[in-house]
Amino acid sequence: MVTTPAESVLRGSPYRADCPSRRILDRIGDRWTVLVVGALGDGSVRFSELRRRVEGVSQKMLTQTLRGLERDGLVRRTVYPEVPVRVEYTLTDAGRTLREPLRALEEWSIAHLGDVSASQEDYDRPDRASS
Amino acid sequence: MVTTPAESVLRGSPYRADCPSRRILDRIGDRWTVLVVGALGDGSVRFSELRRRVEGVSQKMLTQTLRGLERDGLVRRTVYPEVPVRVEYTLTDAGRTLREPLRALEEWSIAHLGDVSASQEDYDRPDRASS
DNA sequence: CCGTATCCTACCGGATACTG
DNA sequence: CAGTATCCGGTAGGATACGG
């Protein structure tokens, strides 16, 4: 059996401090990045509309998250010098490729979160053997 | 075109505070959970071996991460009452289903982290127009 | 409308010491 | 070996005020 690069990282060698898994987690492992990518979808979205789509995000964190994505080349920022100014954000081609793996994760969560919640409640019951 | 459930969450409605995407991020969005799931692979792994596979994880955080995964029903903990004691961790069936989406993410990072790094360096150059 | 600048708090997570 | 307990600092991120 030929070991693919991905598998060599996943199983062959330990997770080094600079392995791809960690680098990507450092980028999307925060509270908002994944949600912003999802909220952008495949269109152009204004800042204020993004704020509405990602419920609870503060102005500061939305700006910070978008700057990070722009720096990574995953989001393009376009300013229309109208009055008042209009700013639109769009996923780049690279950014769009991120949607598929993220969607896979979301589908997993939709499929399994019920079981996870049930397991948690069972685990938290002080009485009864853990079975 | 029929809108799938996943898409209705991704695009139709805003990301509510209790949507599946957020729940899963709250669980695996921390520093170690994803790495521990990867390090477990499809076998049984001892605590000390896990520490070695996930470079840099502290004893406290490894324990805490494993407890969380056990609570979620994604990891099974087995104690062998030998002297000294031996404890092995294994992904449950549910836990194993998480590996595919996580692997997809890792493969994305392997494929794109080079471009991301290049984009960052370009973005961080003070001089020169952004394009 | 779309930010930036400050301040401030919660908590994640590391270091260390101690048990069964 | 596999934890638990305690302390502690750095930082993610919220609230607020202000600027272009």
* Cβ-defined contact of B24 to A113 (cutoff 8 Å): yes
Q: Which residues of A touch B73 (CB under 8 A)?
A: 115-116, 118-120, 123
Task: Say if residue A85's pLDDT is above 70.
Answer: yes
Residue A29 CA to residue A109 CA, distance in Å, equals: 16
Rg of chain A taking only CA atoms, in angstroms: 19
What is the tens place of the pLDDT at every residue in B109-129?
Answer: 999 999 999 999 999 987 655
> How far is Cα A111 from Cα A96, in angstroms, rounded to an integer?
23
Q: Average pLDDT of B97-103?
A: 95
Q: How confident is the model at residue A116 (pLDDT cuts 50, 70, 90)?
A: very high
CATH fit for domain B5-124, picks 1.10.1270.20, 1.10.10.10, 3.20.10.10, 3.40.50.2300: 1.10.10.10
**Is A9 an 8 Å CB contact of chain B?**
yes
Closest residue (CA) to C1' of nucleotide C13 is B61
> In angstroms, how far is C19 C1' from A29 CA?
35
- Joined tokens for residue A59: 């102005």
By the 10 Å C-beta count (0-12 exposed, 13-18 middle, 19+ buried), B118 is classed as exposed
